[in-house]
Structure 1
Amino acid sequence: MINRLVGVSDFVLFLIAAALLADPPVPVLASGLLLSQIVVIALAEVLVYIAVLERIGGYRVERYADPVAAFFFLIAGLAPALVLSLVLLWTFLPSALWQAQWLLAWHVLLLGILMLGRLLQRWLIGLATRWSLLRRRVVVVGTGPTAEAVVRSLGEDPVGYDIRAIYRLDNEPRAESVAGIPVMGNLDALGGYATAHTIDVVVLALPLPRLSEAIRLVESVSWIAADVVIPFERPETSPSFAAIMPLGRLRSLQVLSRPFKGTQGLLKVMEDYVVASIGLLVLSPLMLVAALAIRLEGPGPVLFRQMRPGFGRRPFFIYKFRTMKVNPDDDATVGTTGPADPRVTRVGSVLRRLSIDELPQLLNVLKGEMSIVGPRPYVANMLVENERFSDLVNQYAERHRIKPGLTGYAQAHGMRSYALRSPENARRSIEMDLHYMTHWSLWLDVKIMVRTLLVGLAGRNVF
């Protein structure tokens, strides 16, 4: 994410330099070009500049730490951009090259502006480092020689990594510590820690004789919203056919990637807060009418609260308009209420049919507990044909790697809760949730929201 932000700042600095060329503060920058021509040149140059720096590794945190290296990377990016300007001017505006001192002066100015930007970025990164904002929180699973090598390798880069805990593998000899870091327990203890804390990387430090356990171990931690990696024992191992993640001087095979990292996460959060805020503003009259109807129909609270497992299995209270008669003994085991359910009130039947009962979850979105789009948060003990939903599908736990949603890919395609009465539909809904996680884009969220409004709100499986 830092590298993308630096790229965006470079783009903005190019535009600032273009503005100075359009309204030159000194005569040497007077080019005689029209504003539209200056914009075309600036945009063409910045695209080439960013592409070159991406190609040669200029957008990496370690490049910003060394001012001399940063300076030469800027020159390496600006040189082909300058050549492009010369080609464009020679082709379309040869008269502008008769007095080309403005072009040289502008690139000197541009180099100075970009260098000042690098120095500011270096200072901000240093500040963030001192506040531990850039350190990746790591948990190591394993206590053998591989784990010790990982701990020592990460210890050589204290700025980039923070080893939060170490846990032992099943049937592994009990150890008190690894390279000075205490062992906190087994995989069961890791589950409790991951529910309460944020983890960025889970390192499965498997020794060679136990690599056959990798699939089982990956499945056991697949619900944790973190990058999951298996380190190679030799630092020089780096196959080109796999996703490789550095762990200090070691290399590791990345088997799971943390969802919504960097820019994707920022876009997702912005989408949630913007849509939820607008939704509450626009739908507040409808929600007020629904609340009054529930209150007038009979006794009981307007809102229904229920504990659900959310992001990282962390429990939260989901909000809904109450649509059923109050029953303190109902444990929500059935989970799929139908149109003929005697517990549903008359007002509740209408609210469920139009999905109005779900609107209070906009508050859950604003609280950061849910997203507008994501896997639906089902009841923990929900049954599908007398079998727990979470036990029916092996990959069910992976849904907890992202925030639950007010609507989702499965729901927009007809897999509402009433459709989950059969194991086949239940499995299909999980497949859709996982498809959404691996193919996410802002455009996909927009399509799901539109489809929910047009099809999902009153579909045949809505209740």
Structure 2
Amino acid sequence: MNTFTVDDIKQAEPARTMPEATAAEDLAARRRRMALLAETIAGSDTRPAWSPIVLAGLVRLVEFLLICGTGVAVHTLYVSPVWGFEPHYYIAIPTLACFAIVVFQAFNINTVAAFRAPISQGLRLAGGWALVFLTAIAAAFLLKLEGMFSRVWLVSWFTIGLALLLAWRFAVAIGVRWLTRRGQLDRRTVVVGGGEAGDQLLRALSHQKDTGLRIYGVFDDRADDRAPDVIAGYPKLGSVDDLPEFARHARIDLVVFALPVTAEQRLLELLRKLWVLPIDIRLAAHASKLRLRPRSYSWIGSVPVLDVFDRPIADWDIVVKNLFDRVIGAICLIVLSPVLLATAIVVKLDSPGPILFRQKRYGFNNELIEIYKFRSMYVDQLDYNVVKQVTRDDPRVTKVGRFIRRTSLDELPQLFNVVFKGNLSLVGPRPHAINAKAAEHEYEKIVDGYFARHRMQPGITGWAQVNGWRGETDTPEKIQQRVDFDLFYIENWSILFDLYILAVTPFALVKAENAY
């Protein structure tokens, strides 16, 4: 299969022939209809879903700690009072704990399906736990180490450890069932493409067990008999043009294309409409005559699919970035608290009015968030809707406002967004105001794929800003460059990249020329 790039998708854009006013009205009506449909179908299922990978990782971590804690506790209560501190026990305990985690993984008991069945899978866990100790005993015998460890300690560790592990698995089962009822272990899914291919795919997915999919329906551009209103029991929800708005409101996680691999041009045209979304996109390959090696596929149950696009950040990456933001953000708040206090005082003394300025902006997945900034304009000149961008020597800006905007001190209150609200990151594409314009045109009408920058949570600073693309966007070229840098960051994100951007941000602020 060909590998599609962003440039390939952009080149697949069809010519626009509809008058702009009519197209805008049609788009607004379609968005309202899809938002209402998404709210009706998804209901309360728009809570963030748990990643099965993260869930399994947390279970493994707790089990490792339980095993180590049990071994240490038995040693402390029984071995230490008689023989004192024995360092070789503290080598054996984490070694056996690591081995146990590997064995449990090999026994395939760290899946969501296994977590839901604590009794049957508990027997497998007990078998794995017994195998760990039998292996340890055999190794100690072969290495002539059996005299180094207390038999009472070994039996007690095995018995108490097994009891705690089984109790933990029952607790996990209760938690997993609770998350399942809330829909937080489901991958909210739609299929693109009806007709025979869509019917075959939906029937194949319906026969799978424990895939974690919640299929809402089908989207298809065709309005004839090839795409009926109901396909394999699932409704046709709209055309592919309707899907982005539906996906945002229903918090879709996965889109599966039921199209032949050979339909490259149509795939490109459809992908162009969807690549701006923070979702996984897969191409069903179960009905394809093209047969690749098994490792070329990923799988939904036993249904083979080809990976087309992955969301830019998922699973443990989300956890790591979240922890990074909260921890480093909290440290920044503490370290910069004198600067925050001093800035608040001078803003209050400089002109009457509130210290903070609040404004609605686009956040992750086009959701509206409220950000905080130090007020830099006179109260009667505040521009909440960005009707006019701030320009050089703008009379609306206060004396203190010019300084804090130039040095970006006005952005510091957004640390509260990062640490307490969690709707901003330290590093990411800068959140733009809702009605922001360049050359009297809204950003999304100038830059193709503009909303793709919302596939990741916005940040206080970003790759575009440290490369000089901050401040006024009075020309289409400026916003295009900013978006290009944002997209590069999204496609190449890593914690080291974030650290680099944070490190160079102060130097970028010193030489900035476009912030007024």
1:294 partnered with 2:367:
no
| Equivalent in 229, 247, 265 of residue 318 of structure 2 | 265
| Equivalent in 101, 117, 142 of residue 50 of structure 1 | 101
Shift of 1:223: 2.5
Letter of the aligned partner of 1:96 in structure 2? M
- In the alignment, what sits opposite 2:428? 374
Segment drifting more, 275-284 vs 306-315: 275-284
Alignment of 1:303-318 (within 5 A): 303-318=356-371
| Equivalent in 245, 257, 266 of residue 213 of structure 1 | 266
Look up the SS of the partner of 1:133 in the other structure. Answer: coil
Shift of 1:425: 7.0
Q: 1:275 to 1:315 in 2, by over 3 A?
A: same
Alpha-carbon separation, structure 2, partners of 1:404 and 1:371: 6
Alignment of 1:114-125 (within 5 A): 114-125=165-176
Contact 1:17 1:110 in 2 (8 A): yes
- In the alignment, what sits opposite 2:178? 127
Percent identical among aligned pairs is: 28
Letter of the aligned partner of 2:453 in structure 1? R
- In the alignment, what sits opposite 1:224? 277
Shift of 1:63: 3.0
Letter of the aligned partner of 2:362 in structure 1? P
- In the alignment, what sits opposite 1:34? 85
Contact 2:195 2:227 in 1 (8 A): no
Deviations 1:390-413 (A, max 9, x none): 4665554322112111122443x3
Report the count of equivalent residues.
456
Alpha-carbon separation, structure 2, partners of 1:271 and 1:292: 30
Shift of 1:5: 1.5
- In the alignment, what sits opposite 1:163? 215
1:323 partnered with 2:323:
no
Contact 1:170 1:187 in 2 (8 A): no
Deviations 1:307-343 (A, max 9, x none): 32221112333332233455578964775x5655555
- In the alignment, what sits opposite 1:359? 412
| Equivalent in 71, 75, 90 of residue 18 of structure 1 | 71
Shift of 1:348: 1.5
Select the structure with the greater relative contact order (CA < 8 A; seq sep ≥ 6).
Answer: 2
Alpha-carbon separation, structure 2, partners of 1:243 and 1:295: 61
1:176 partnered with 2:176:
no
Q: 1:268 to 1:206 in 2, by over 3 A?
A: same
Alpha-carbon separation, structure 2, partners of 1:423 and 1:35: 71
| Equivalent in 124, 127, 133 of residue 75 of structure 1 | 127
Shift of 1:428: 5.8
Q: 1:42 to 1:31 in 2, by over 3 A?
A: farther
Deviations 1:30-82 (A, max 9, x none): 99583532222121122233234445534222233263444335534663575
Alignment of 1:79-94 (within 5 A): 79=131, 83=135, 87=139
Look up the SS of the partner of 1:45 in the other structure. Answer: helix
Deviations 1:182-225 (A, max 9, x none): 22222333222233232221222325664432233223112222
Letter of the aligned partner of 2:98 in structure 1? L
Letter of the aligned partner of 1:12 in structure 2? L
Look up the SS of the partner of 2:286 in the other structure. Answer: coil
Segment drifting more, 395-404 vs 349-358: 395-404
Alpha-carbon separation, structure 1, partners of 2:469 and 2:258: 40
Alpha-carbon separation, structure 2, partners of 1:383 and 1:142: 36
Letter of the aligned partner of 1:42 in structure 2? I
1:244 partnered with 2:295:
no
Contact 2:464 2:470 in 1 (8 A): no
| Equivalent in 308, 325, 330 of residue 255 of structure 1 | 308
Contact 1:415 1:429 in 2 (8 A): no
| Equivalent in 91, 99, 112 of residue 61 of structure 1 | 112
Alignment of 1:339-354 (within 5 A): 339-341=392-394, 343-354=396-407
Give me the CA root mean square deviation: 3.9
- In the alignment, what sits opposite 2:189? 138
1:455 partnered with 2:507:
yes
Shift of 1:3: 0.9
Alpha-carbon separation, structure 1, partners of 2:484 and 2:90: 47
Alpha-carbon separation, structure 1, partners of 2:484 and 2:81: 61
Look up the SS of the partner of 1:417 in the other structure. Answer: coil
- In the alignment, what sits opposite 2:148? 96
Q: 1:329 to 1:272 in 2, by over 3 A?
A: closer
Alpha-carbon separation, structure 1, partners of 2:514 and 2:127: 60
Segments of structure 2 that go 5 or more residues without pairing to the other structure are 1-53
Segment drifting more, 442-451 vs 183-192: 442-451
Deviations 1:324-365 (A, max 9, x none): 455578964775x56555554321121012211112323433
- In the alignment, what sits opposite 1:147? 198
Q: TM-score, normalised by structure 2?
A: 0.74
Alpha-carbon separation, structure 2, partners of 1:24 and 1:330: 65
Alpha-carbon separation, structure 1, partners of 2:133 and 2:501: 41
Alpha-carbon separation, structure 2, partners of 1:362 and 1:14: 39
